[in-house]
Chain A
Amino acid sequence: MSAAVETHDQAHHEEGDHHGHHHPFQAHHFETMQQQFDSGKLGIWLFLFTEILMFSGLFCAYIIYRYNHPEVFLFAHKYLDTTLGALNTVVLIVSSLTMALAVRAAQKSQQKLLVAMLTCTLILAGVFLVVKYFEYTHKFDIGLYTGRDNISYQLQNPSMYPEAHDELIKIQKAHAAAEHSAEEHTIAEEEKAAEHPSEHSSEHSAAAGHDAGEHGEDHGASIEALAHAPRNTQIFFGIYYMMTGLHGFHILAGMVAISWLLYRSIKGHFSASYFGPVDYVGLYWHLVDLIWIYLFPLLYLIRS
């Protein structure tokens, strides 16, 4: 740790005048641009450590609950769409690349490339949130809210939530009627559908183009399956919403930061001699990507 000392080699020069021949973005209390950059870099790393420890609380809750109740995770992950999760993973990886290229462009004073790369990153962040929006709304459609509002919790407490129970009965009756009228569903298939609702639903959504009635049935099958969910399945969704929600909030904050960078880079503030903010936001953005790299297998790829 002699770095701090080494960077001050020319610190003994007279500091009588506070706004002279300095770089326009050098703050008055730093001796050199190098010191300013090093301070910013250490600062952003420390901030990232706080982020890691903050998320570690959620990971801790996840691991403890998964370790003690694996059956809940095995059941509930089927309501998460692996394809969309993988898509979002790729989106974030591409955005990480464009962010790294943006930092590189700033370091080499390539203003136009910098603006282009930041714009790409911003758009990809938007894509991520749009995909996330569709994932959330799909869950809300089925009734997979948090806590006592979660349909699986309500179905397991029929005395407290008679409406949910009534709906289930209605669906079951409709289902039975449908079975009588149309013979293409064998009993075996029904059982399979109850066990693997998402596979069931993806089969159906593939064929949904020519059958308008499919959506309602898909919905019904999901609810029927949820009636047989392991108890306290709602906690999985609590953890899921907290983890992805906090992560999504960080994406949103990153978008604000990238917009600010974009504004400044259009004004031409960044160059080889001053690119600190791009580097710092870049590091933050990569960390948000890193967290998703763990969230994806933990939430979407549960198989045993």
Chain B
Amino acid sequence: MATITPDTQIDIGHNDDPNSNYLTSSRGFLSWALTLDHKRIGVMYLVGIFGAFFLGGVLALLLRLQLLMPEGTFSFISLDRYNQLFTLHGAVMTFLFIIPSVPAALGNFVLPLMVGAKDVAFPRMNLASFYLWVFGAIFFLIALVTTQLDTGWTFYTPYSIETQTNVIAATCGAFILGFSSIFTGLNFIVTVNTMRPPGMTWFKMPLFMWAIYATAIIQVLATPVLGITLLLLTAERVLHIGIFDPSMGGDPVLFQHFFWFYSHPAVYIMILPGMGIMSELMSVYSRKPIFGYTFIAYSSIAIALLGFLVWGHHMFVSGQSPMSAVIFSGLTFSVSIPSAIKVFNWVATMYKGNINLATPMCYALSFIFLFSIGGLTGLFLGALATDIHLHDTYFVVAHFHYVMMGGTVIAFVGGLYHWWPKMFGVMYNEFWGRVFCAVVFIGFNLTFFPQFIMGSQGMPRRYATYAPEFQLYHDLSTIGALTLGIGMVGAIAVLVISLFNGRKAPANPWGAATLEWTCTSPPPYYNFEHAPHVGSPYDYTGLKYDPQVGGYVRDPNAAPASESGH
């Protein structure tokens, strides 16, 4: 024992003081930079992705302000510069922010706590995943600072082979970020498979875990294809291998097949974890067991698998054969079924529930509204005939912002508010939390609803200028974007301010029944002193509000959950 260094993950300067938590158990820059603790890695991810979110948001506001006038507001944004700005906005938001947002930041923090484990299965890989994210982000910044990328986030060939901008730095960045995403997904699959405590069978897992598990399957299966796509694109630029280059006899449509084989499932990497958060919030804040647990669980897996069958709906008008287009259009509708199952179950959960309109629940309700609009407008785009008209218009832009921003980002912020007391041990100001939720909701709809209208009237996306008849819609959208920006900054400010003056959080402020609420807030370094008792994740009968604690405690007199069949 003395001669061989144990393979354990004792962090630098860690102390075993029972009163310390993961934030205070060790100090210094290195104790964070080299930590293997999933909670600290989650927090570092949180800081990182909010940096990316801020950058992407500023770019978005610049774009919107530029579109205030039909010929452009600012003279310093040339037409080329406009292309570069929206490319970076898209690439930063998808690759740096949304994909890692819920799984890598919240998932990292919450998942091991939910399984009652001390850590994820591979803590070193977890840290590596974070650093890969950092390096990927740096490559993106290089692409930004040297020559600004102008291919759109999709890197379509042959333009991406010919353009003089720094495609290679951006593809390297996306390649590295892909590995970061694979590492996270791999870690979560193994954690869920092998580290669940005794008694937690598959159908006693919280639905957030099911969602993260389904997401991880997509991350592991789809991301490698993105990796090889970007590798081939880089080879195309460096070695001119010609596979995707029509001037060399190559096949540019093949690039789109490669790209969308990853990137359609990737939209489910983005939305599924958000749906997982929704299942938790709906049940906890309705104080009622989730309605249709098995349906929601299976629908997560169904979405993950069906998501692989529909990638061709991005290629209806870009060279794909009519036969494939018909097949893909038909299959695309099938994905709406499991998504709708989820929405119906969430709504049914609220029915006759004892609804607590705390800030996370406000976000959850916003999610249902916005996601339904986003999902239903997706049907118009999946239908072959209407898509020919709507393709590459603002209708598409509005659709995916309703799903990605109105869905994932709203759920992410809701989840962040939900788990914030657990993460940092402080309660935020409930009033201002709700106010900014309302501002975000209004700003969001004002930004993107007009885009549906102008899109259906033929306003093409990615254009730096537009016909004067669209100015009203663009101006409304810009005003909405500013409102949305204020709302988001405010929502995050409420959380940050709570770090300084927030009331100390109890272990279980919301009365949730999942395991992460059984340890103290913030959790101790080792999460649980004793392996926690596993009950039903949505059984609230034994939880009573204790005004002295300011949160919920398990009532010792209550009958233990009796439905345990284990």
Name A residues whose Cβ lies closer than 8 Å to a Cβ of B: 1-2, 4-5, 7-9, 11-12, 14-16, 18-19, 22, 24-30, 35, 38-39, 42-43, 46-47, 49-58, 60-61, 64-65, 69, 146-149, 153, 231-232, 234-235, 238-239, 241-242, 246, 269
Contact B10 A35 (CB under 8 A): no
Chain B residues numbered 505-544 whose CB sits less than 8 Å from any CB in chain A:
526, 529-531
Take A29-B123, A35-B195 as given contacts and tell me if A242 and B221 are in contact as well, using a CB distance cutoff of 8 Å. no
| Contact between B1 and A148, CB atoms less than 8 A apart | no
Please report which residues of chain B, range 1-59, place their CB below 8 angstroms from some CB of chain A when the two chains form the complex.
1, 4, 6-10
Question: Contacts of A232 on B, CB cut-off 8 Å?
Answer: 242, 248-249
User: Do B223 and A50 touch across chains, with their CB atoms under 8 A apart?
Assistant: yes
B341 at the interface (CB under 8 A from A): no
A28 and B123 alpha carbons, distance in the complex (Å): 11
Interface residues on B, range: 35 or more
Bound together, the chains give a CA A191 to CA B35 distance in angstroms of 69
Bound-state Cα–Cα, A27 to B258, Å: 39
Rounded to whole angstroms, the CA-CA distance of A58 and B254 in the bound complex is 12
Cβ contacts under 8 Å, A60 to chain B = 254, 257-258
Q: Which of A5, A9, A22, A53 contacts B221 (CB 8 A)?
A: A53
A234 — which chain B residues lie within 8 A by C-beta? 242, 248
16 extra interchain contacts, Cβ-Cβ under 8 A, other than A24-B6, A30-B195, A242-B241? A1-B193, A1-B202, A4-B196, A18-B10, A39-B190, A39-B195, A46-B190, A49-B221, A50-B221, A57-B258, A58-B228, A65-B243, A65-B251, A69-B249, A234-B242, A242-B243
11 pairs, A vs B, C-beta closer than 8 Å: A1-B202, A15-B530, A25-B7, A26-B7, A28-B8, A39-B194, A232-B248, A234-B248, A235-B241, A239-B241, A246-B231
A241 CB contact (under 8 Å) in B125, B191, B201, B239: B239
Chain A residues with Cβ below 8 Å from B531 are 11-12, 15
Q: Is B182 positioned at the interface, with any CB of A under 8 Å from its CB?
A: yes
Question: Quick check: which of B113-121, B379-387, B425-433 contacts chain A, the rest being far away?
Answer: B113-121
Q: B240 at the A/B interface (Cβ < 8 Å)?
A: yes
Contacts of A24 on B, CB cut-off 8 Å?
1, 4, 6-7
Given contacts A16-B529, A18-B8, A148-B240, contact A54 B248 (CB under 8 A): no
Q: Name the distance in Å between A205's Cβ and chain B's nearest Cβ.
A: 28
Whether the Cβ atoms of A149 and B240 lie closer than 8 Å is: yes
Tell me if B225 counts as interface (CB < 8 A to partner A): yes
A242 to B234, CA, bound (A): 11
Q: Are B228 and A55 in contact (CB under 8 A)?
A: yes
B229 interface residue (CB < 8 Å to A): yes
Q: Contacts A12-B198, A43-B190, A232-B249 given; indicate if A27 touches B9 (C-beta within 8 A).
A: yes
- B375 CB-CB contact with A under 8 Å: no
Are A146 and B223 in touch, CB under 8 angstroms? no
Q: Which residues of B contact A (CB under 8 A)?
A: 1, 4, 6-10, 117-123, 125, 182, 186-187, 189-191, 193-202, 220-225, 227-229, 231-232, 235, 239-243, 248-251, 254, 257-258, 526, 529-531
Q: Which residue of A lies closest to B257 (CB)?
A: A60
Residue of A50, A53, A55, A149 with most chain B CB atoms under a 10 A cut-off: A50
For A1, A8, A27, the residue with the greatest tally of chain B CB atoms inside 10 Å of its CB is A27
Q: CA of A35 to CA of B120 in the docked complex: distance in angstroms?
A: 13
- Distance in Å: Cβ of A266 to nearest Cβ of chain B: 14
Q: Decide: A147 near B7, CB < 8 A? Known: A4-B196, A11-B531.
A: no
Using Cβ atoms and an 8 Å threshold, which residues of chain A touch B249? 69, 231-232, 235
Chain B residues near A61 (CB, 8 Å)? Answer: 232, 243, 254
Most buried by B among A26, A64, A235: A235
B189 closest partner in A (C-beta):
A46
Give chain A residues whose Cβ lies under 8 Å from the Cβ of B117: 29
Report the Cα distance A258→B242, complex, angstroms.
Answer: 35
Residues of A within 8 A of B229 (CB): 57
Contact B239 A39 (CB under 8 A): no
Let me know if A238 and B225 touch, CB within 8 A.
no
CB pair A242–B248 under 8 Å, yes or no, is: no
Residues of A within 8 Å of B182, CB to CB, are: 50
Contact B186 A47 (CB under 8 A): yes
Shortest Cβ gap from A58 to chain B (Å): 6
* CA of A148 to CA of B64, assembled, Å: 43
Bound together, the chains give a CA A30 to CA B121 distance in angstroms of 8
Distance A47 CA – B186 CA, assembled complex (angstroms)? 7
CA distance A254 to B4 in the complex (A): 25
Q: CB < 8 Å: which of A30, A43, A147, A269 contacts B4?
A: A269
> CA separation between A4 and B204, bound complex, in Å?
13
Contact A18 B526 (CB under 8 A): yes
Give the 3 A-B residue pairs with the shortest CB-CB distance, closest first. A147-B240, A238-B241, A57-B228
Closest A residue to B112 by beta carbon equals A29
- Contact partner of B220 (CB less than 8 A), chosen from A4, A8, A46, is A46
B239 adjacent to A19 (CB under 8 Å): no
Most chain A CB atoms below 10 A, which of B227, B239, B526: B239
A5-B198, A57-B229 known; A42-B190 Cβ under 8 A: yes
Residues A238 and B7 in contact in the complex (CB < 8 Å), given A8-B197, A39-B122, A54-B227: no
Residue in B232, B242, B529 whose CB lies within 8 Å of A57:
B232
Among B222, B225, B529, the most chain A Cβ lie within 10 Å of the Cβ of B225
Closest residue of chain A to B198 (Cβ to Cβ) is A8
Best-buried of B4, B186, B223, B529 by chain A (most CB within 10 Å): B186
Per the bound structure, the CA–CA distance linking A203 and B202 in Å amounts to: 65
Across-interface contacts of B239 in A (CB, < 8 A) = 146-147, 238, 241
Chain A residues closer than 8 Å to B198, beta-carbon distance: 5, 8-9, 11-12
Chain B residues whose CB sits within 8 angstroms of the CB of A14 once the complex forms:
530
Question: Complex Cα distance A9/B193, Å?
Answer: 15
Q: Which of B1, B9, B125, B241 contacts A146 (CB 8 A)?
A: B241
Per the bound structure, the CA–CA distance linking A149 and B182 in Å amounts to 35
Measured between beta carbons, the chain A residues less than 8 angstroms from B222 are: 53
Q: Which residues of A contact B120 (CB under 8 A)?
A: 29
A50 to B194, CA, bound (A): 20
- A146/B194 in contact, CB under 8 A: no
A8–chain B nearest beta-carbon distance, Å: 4
Cα A101 to Cα B192 in complex, Å, equals 32
> Which chain A positions have C-beta within 8 A of B189?
42, 46
A53 interface neighbour in B6, B195, B197, B224, Cβ under 8 Å: B224
Within 8 Å CB of A58, what residues of B? Answer: 228, 232
CB distance from B198 to the nearest CB of A (A): 4
In the bound complex, what is the Cα–Cα distance between A234 and B221 (angstroms)?
Answer: 31
Q: Are A238 and B242 in contact (CB under 8 A)?
A: yes
What separation, in Å, do the CA atoms of A153 and B28 have in the docked complex?
Answer: 59
* Structural contact, A54 and B224, CB atoms closer than 8 A: yes
- Give the distance in Å from the alpha carbon of A47 to the alpha carbon of B526 in the complex: 28
- Give the distance in Å from the alpha carbon of A43 to the alpha carbon of B189 in the complex: 8
Are the C-beta atoms of A54 and B242 separated by less than 8 Å? no
Check if B254 sits within 8 Å of A64, measured CB to CB. yes
How far does the alpha carbon of A8 sit from the alpha carbon of B7 in the complex, in Å? 21
CA of A56 to CA of B121, assembled, Å: 28
Chain A residues with Cβ below 8 Å from B193 are 1, 4, 39, 42
Residue of A16, A54, A57 contacting most chain B CB atoms (<10 Å): A57
**Residues of B close to A52: CB separation below 8 A:** 224
Interchain CA distance A28-B187 in the complex, whole Å:
16
Judge whether A242 and B232 touch: CB under 8 Å.
yes
Closest to B527 in A: A29
Residues of the A chain whose Cβ atoms lie less than 8 Å from the Cβ of B526: 15, 18
User: Are the C-beta atoms of A235 and B248 separated by less than 8 Å?
Assistant: yes
Residue of B nearest to A267 (CB): B4
A196 to chain B, nearest CB (A): 24
| Given known A46-B186, A60-B258, A235-B249, contact A5–B201 (CB-CB < 8 A) | yes
